[in-house]
Each structure stands twice: as C-alpha cells, then as structure tokens.
Amino acid sequence: MREFVTTEYQFSHGRKPRGYGHWAFVPADYVWPKEIPHDAIAWAHGTYTDAKKEVARKYPEVSRWSVLP
C-alpha cells in the first residue's frame, strides 16, 4: 500500500487534493537541494486518484509520496 502525504498541498490550497489536473509528487523522504532537479518530480495528469495509481505503478520502489502544491 502506498501512502500519499498531502500536508504541503493542504497548507497551500486550504483543502485536500481532489479532481482533475496535473499532479506533482516526490518521495516523502526526498531532501531538496538548492535547485530542484526536474527528474526528482513524478508528474501525472488526470484525476487525483488515477494520478496516484500511475505514480505508484511507475515507481514501485517508493512507498511514501508527498503531493506538491
């Protein structure tokens, strides 16, 4: 089972993620360097539910994700 941490998203948007759009995820234990490398972010498009499934399928080795605002 994958875990998706939405703390940053909720702080930024004032609500839990939902609906259709472009979604950005990073491994929850990722340590950010001064500049964010583009390949550190997993992007998905579609409903939030489908985006989570897509990211989990593409990166099975990551079990805990942060949803970016």
| pLDDT tens, per residue, the chain with 69 residues | 789 999 999 999 999 999 999 999 998 887 777 776 777 799 999 999 999 999 999 999 999 999 999
Question: Rounded to 5 degrees, what are φ and ψ at 35?
Answer: -115, 135
Distance of alpha carbon 32 from alpha carbon 16, whole angstroms: 23
Tokens 């990166």: give the residue.
59
For 19: left if phi > 0, alpha if psi spans -120 to 50, otherwise beta; the answer is left
For residue 51, the enclosing domain spans 3-31+40-67
pTM, 2 dp: 0.85
pLDDT value for 33: 72
Instruction: Classify 59 as helix, strand or coil.
Output: coil
Closest C-alpha among 68, 59, 64 to residue 27: 64
* Count of the separate structural domains present in the chain: 1
